[in-house]
Structure 1
Amino acid sequence: MKHVSILIPEGHISLTNIDGTYQILSEVNSFQIAMGKPPLFAVQLVGLSKEASLRNGLFTIKPDVLIDEIEKTDLIIIPALFGEHEQSMALNQEFIPWIIQQRENGAEIASFCVGAFFLAATGLLNGKQCATHWRLANEFRAAFPDVNLVDDKIMTEENGLYTSGGAYSYLNLLLYLVEKYAGRDTAILIAKAFMIDIDKNSQSPFIIFQGQKTHNDEPIKKAQEFIETNFQEKITVDQLADMLAIGRRNLERRFKKATSNTVSEYIQRVKIEAAKKSFETDRKNISEVMYDVGYSDIKAFRTIFKKITGLSPIDYRNKYTKKVEKLEVA
C-alpha cells in the first residue's frame, strides 16, 4: 500500500485540490475492494498544526497528522498556494526540509497549479521540466530561472517529480498517477466516474497571451506596445531597432531577457491572440481572419496557429464558437 501525504499548508490554498485528490484516491480504493483486491492508497492530510484556518476563517481543516509524525511517505501532494509567494513561503517554511528529507528517502512529489512555486523553492526542480498555471509563467521564470518551465503542458514527469498546469488540470495529473499505480483500466473507470477528459495533454488552447510587461526595460515596453498596435503590418527587428535607437543585437538580447520571447515569437503570439479573439467572437472564415492579423500564407498561418494553441484554426473556432443548445425537457 502506498502512503500518500496531502499537504495542508497555512494560508490561502486550494480546497479543491485537497478534496478532489482525497475523493479520487479513495474511489480507487473502493474500486480495488470491489474487485476483491486490497486498497492501494493510505491517504493522510499532513499539516504543520492540528488545525488550519483557510480563507480568513471561512474554512477549517484538521490534518490527520503533523509532519514530525511521519517517518516515511511514498507520495507527497502539494496543492496550489495562492497569494504572495514570499508570504506563503514564510508561513510554510517548515515543510521544506521535511519534503527534501522525504525525497531523499525515495518519496515522489506532485505539485498542482501554482503549488509549483513551493516545490521549486525546495530546489528539487532545478534543471528539470515543470508546469504551472499559464497566467503566472513569467513570474515563475523570474523567480526560478534554473527550472525549465513548459507553460503549454498540462503536466510533467521527471524522475518521480510531477507538476500540473493551471486550475483543474490537476485532475489529469491525478489520472496519470492512478494509471501508473493502479493500471489503465482503473484510470478509465475513474475518468468515467468523475467525467474527466483522460486524453487532455496541453493547456495551450486555454492560454490568453497578455504580453510580458512586468519588467523595467522601458524601451522594450515601447517595442511591445508598437507591435501590439501595429501587428497587422510587417514589422522587422531593424525597424524596431531604428525606432528605439538601439543596436539590433542589443535589442534582440534585451527583448528576449525581458519577455522570454524573441521579437519574431512575440509578433507571432500577438497576431495569433488577435486571431483567437476573432474566431471567438466573429463569423469570419479562416482566410478573412488570417488577412486581418497580417498573414498572407494560409499554410504558414495554420502551422504557427497550431504551434501556439495546440489546435488548427478551424478546430479552435469550432471549440469556442459553438452555440449553446437548450436542454430538452423530458
Structure 2
Amino acid sequence: MKHLTILVPDVQTANSTIACIVGAYQIFTGANNYWEKKGNNPLFKIETAGVAEESSFINGLLTIKPQVNISSLKKTDLILIPSLNPEFKTALKGNVLLIDWFREQYKSGAEVASMCTGAFMLASSGLLEKRSCSIHWNSADNFRSLFPGVHLKTEKLITDEHGIYTNGGGYSFLNLLLYLIEKYYDRETAIYCSKIFQVEIDRQTQSAFTIFTGQKSHGDDVVIQAQKYMEDNFYEKISVEDLSKRFAVGRRNFDRRFIKATGNTPIEYLQRVKIESAKKAFETTRKTINEVMYEVGYSDVKAFREIFRKLTGISPLDYKNKYNKDIGNGIYS
C-alpha cells in the first residue's frame, strides 16, 4: 500500500488551508472506497501530518490535530501541500521543518503536489527552480518577485513535471485531486469521484477566471507612467515606438525595462488591458462582439478572436454566454 501525506501547517495559513486539507482527505478516501468496491486493496494509506500537536484556523474557529508528526514518517509516496497565506514572503517556524522534510522525501522518490498558494512553500524548497508552476492569478506578482527562477504559468490549471505538481487558485485544487486520482488509480475512478463530488473533470486552464490588474509594485516610475497611459488610452492606436518617445527612453531600453518590471512586453500588456476591458463589457452590457471589439481598439475580427482566446482560453462568444446569461432577463435593460 502506498502512503499519502497531507501536510497540516501551523503558521502562515489562510481560510482556504483547511478546505484543501479536508477536501483532499475526503476525495482520496472516496477514491480508496471505490477502488475497494472494484475488488482491489486500498491504494493509499491517507494521513495528515504536521509539526505541532494541533493547528488553528480561521481565527481559532477550527482546529486540526495532525494524525502523525512528520518526524515519525520515514517514507511516503505522495505529499499534498495545502494553500497558504497569499501574503507569503518567506517560510517561518514550523513550515521550515515541513519544507526540509518533503525536500528529503522527494529526493527519496516521493512525489509532491501543491494546492493553490501552497506553491509558495513548494518553491521555498528549491524544487521548483527552472520548472513550471501554476498559482492563483492574484498571487502571481508576489510569487514572481520571490521566485524569479520558477517558470510561472498562471494560464495553466495544472502543471506536472518530474513528480512535482502545482495548480491554480481557489477551489481548482479539486481538479488537481482528480488529476492525481486518475494518475494513481485510473480514469474510471477519477470519473466516479468527479460525479460523486460534482467536480468538472479535465479542466485545463484558469485563464477565463483571471482578472488582469497589472504588476505595479516594481518601482520603475517610467514603466508605471507607461502602464497608466496604456490603461487610459488602450482604445487608441498605440505603438511601442510612440511610447518610448513619449517617455524619452530608447526603444530597446524601454522594452527591456518594461519586461523586467511587468513580466510582459509592452504589446502583450496592451493586449491584456484591451481584453480585460472587453471581458467587462461582455459581462455587464448587451453590446455585440463587434461593438466591443471596436470599442477596445480592434478592427480585425479574426485577430480579436485569436487574442481573446489566447488570453482567456475561450472565444468572445463563449465568454459572453458564460458570464452574461442574466442579460436576457432584463437586468441590464
- If the TM-score is normalised by the length of the shorter chain, which range does it land in? over 0.9
- Give runs of aligned pairs for residues 1-330 of structure 1, distance below 5 A: 1-11=1-11, 12-13=13-14, 14-86=17-89, 88-323=91-326
The 2-side partners of 1:324 and 1:239 are apart by 39
Q: Is the 8 A contact 1:175 1:187 kept in 2?
A: yes
* TM-score normalized with structure 1 length: 0.96
The 1-side partners of 2:192 and 2:29 are apart by 13
Secondary structure, counterpart of 1:295 in structure 2: coil
The 1-side partners of 2:141 and 2:321 are apart by 29
Percent of pairs with identical residues? 52
Q: Is the 8 A contact 1:2 1:74 kept in 2?
A: yes
Could you list the runs of 4 or more consecutive aligned residues of structure 1 that deviate by over 4 angstroms after TM superposition? none
In the TM superposition, what is the alpha-carbon distance from 1:90 to its structure 2 partner? 3.8
The 1-side partners of 2:194 and 2:111 are apart by 23
What is the identity, as a one-letter code, of the residue corresponding to 2:3? H
Q: Is the 8 A contact 1:10 1:88 kept in 2?
A: no
The 2-side partners of 1:200 and 1:268 are apart by 24
| 1:185-235 CA distance string (max 9 Å, x none) | 111000000111102110000000001101100111000000000000001
In the TM superposition, what is the alpha-carbon distance from 1:87 to its structure 2 partner? 5.9
In the TM superposition, what is the alpha-carbon distance from 1:129 to its structure 2 partner? 0.6
In the TM superposition, what is the alpha-carbon distance from 1:323 to its structure 2 partner? 2.4
Q: Is the 8 A contact 1:81 1:88 kept in 2?
A: no
The 2-side partners of 1:87 and 1:144 are apart by 11
Secondary structure, counterpart of 1:172 in structure 2: helix
- Structure 1 residue ranges without an equivalent (≥5): none
Decide which moves more: 72-81 or 9-18. 9-18
Secondary structure, counterpart of 1:109 in structure 2: strand
In the TM superposition, what is the alpha-carbon distance from 1:116 to its structure 2 partner? 0.3
The alignment of Structure 1 onto Structure 2 pairs a total of residues equal to 326
The 2-side partners of 1:204 and 1:117 are apart by 20
The 2-side partners of 1:86 and 1:207 are apart by 23
What is the identity, as a one-letter code, of the residue corresponding to 1:187? A
* TM-score normalized with structure 2 length: 0.95
Decide which moves more: 82-91 or 138-147. 82-91
| 1:21-56 CA distance string (max 9 Å, x none) | 000011111112222221111010101011112223
In the TM superposition, what is the alpha-carbon distance from 1:88 to its structure 2 partner? 4.7
In the TM superposition, what is the alpha-carbon distance from 1:99 to its structure 2 partner? 1.0
What is the identity, as a one-letter code, of the residue corresponding to 2:189? T
Secondary structure, counterpart of 2:293 in structure 1: helix
- Structure 2 residue ranges without an equivalent (≥5): none
Q: Is the 8 A contact 2:134 2:158 kept in 1?
A: yes
In the TM superposition, what is the alpha-carbon distance from 1:83 to its structure 2 partner? 4.8
Give the RMSD, CA atoms, in angstroms. 1.4
| 1:272-305 CA distance string (max 9 Å, x none) | 0000000000111111000000000001101111
Judged with a 3 Å threshold, the aligned counterparts in structure 2 of structure 1 residues 323 and 84 are, in CA distance, closer, same or farther, namely closer
Q: Is the 8 A contact 2:286 2:327 kept in 1?
A: no
Q: Is the 8 A contact 1:80 1:111 kept in 2?
A: yes
